[in-house]
Amino acid sequence: MAIKNTDGNYLRVDFDRCRGRSIGYELYREEDIRRNGPAKFDNVIKETHQAGSIWDEELLKVADNVSVRENIIRAAYRALKRDAKFEAWIDC
């Protein structure tokens, strides 16, 4: 699960860095890096986004058929996509 922008950059939520109302994520320059790991000179950008109350709302939308971890990751993606900074990003 990831989202991408029109420049071809990919964003992946980092579950281990999601704390409180803070969503940790990694930005990759392109899909190949996201799938296969960075090459020698490629840098993955690690960021944190403060999602506020949007995060709380999205966490309430749980699915019974997936793990707690998967529910948190899905809520993080939904919260990011509702934020103006990421509204142009699409699922991929």
With CA atoms as reference, report the closest residue to 55 among 85, 81, 76: 76
CA distance to 56, 64, 75, per residue, from 60 (Å) = 7, 12, 8
pLDDT tens sequence across 5-39: 888 888 989 999 998 889 999 888 766 665 666 66
CB 5 within 8 A of CB 21: no
Domain ranges of the chain: 3-85
Single pTM value for the model: 0.80
25-32 LR contacts (CB < 8 Å, sep 24+): 25/49, 25/76, 25/80, 31/4, 31/92
